[in-house]
Amino acid sequence: MAPKQQDFAAMLKEMMSAFPVDTKAFDDSFKSSATLNEKLSNVAIEAAGRSTELSAKWTKDMLARAAELSKAKAEPADYAKAMSDFATYQAETANEQMSAFAEIVKKAQMDTVELMMAAGKEFGDDFNANVQKAQTAAKKTTI
C-alpha cells in the first residue's frame, strides 16, 4: 500500500489562517501614500507655474527694453546711453527676479516640510494604533 501524500495546499492554507492579515492597513497605507504624493505634486506644480509666470514676465520686459535699445538714434552718444540704461536696468531687475524665484522656492520648501511633518505625525499615530491592536490581539490569543 502506497503512503498517502500530504496535501501541501491544505497545510499552507491552514498555516495562513493561523496568521490573519488585516489588509485594511495596507489599503490605508496606499491611500495615505497616494494622498501625500498628490499634495507634493501640487506643491511642485504650483511652484513651476509661478516660476514660469515670473520667467515669462521677465522675458517680455527684457524684450521690450531690447526693442527700445534697437531703435535708431540721432546721435552716437545716444546709443551708448541706451546701452548703459539697458545694462543698468538688467542688473537691477536680475536681483529682484532672483529674489522672487527664491521666494517661490522658499514657499515650496515650507509647504513640503509641512506636508512631511503632517505625514510623519499621521504615520506615527497609525503605527501606535496598530501596535495597540497587535498587543490586544496577542493578549487575546494567550488568554
**39, 117 contact by CB (below 8 A):** no
pLDDT tens digits, 67-81: 988 999 999 899 999
Mean pLDDT in the chain?
A: 88
Q: In which residue are the cell numbers 514660469 written? A: 52
pLDDT tens digits, 91-142: 999 999 999 999 999 999 999 999 999 988 888 887 788 788 878 877 777 6
Long-range contacts of 118-122 (CB under 8 A, 24+ apart): 119/32, 119/36, 122/32
Choose among 31, 36, 28: nearest CA to 129.
28
pLDDT at position 60, please?
Answer: 95
Task: State pTM to two decimals.
Answer: 0.67
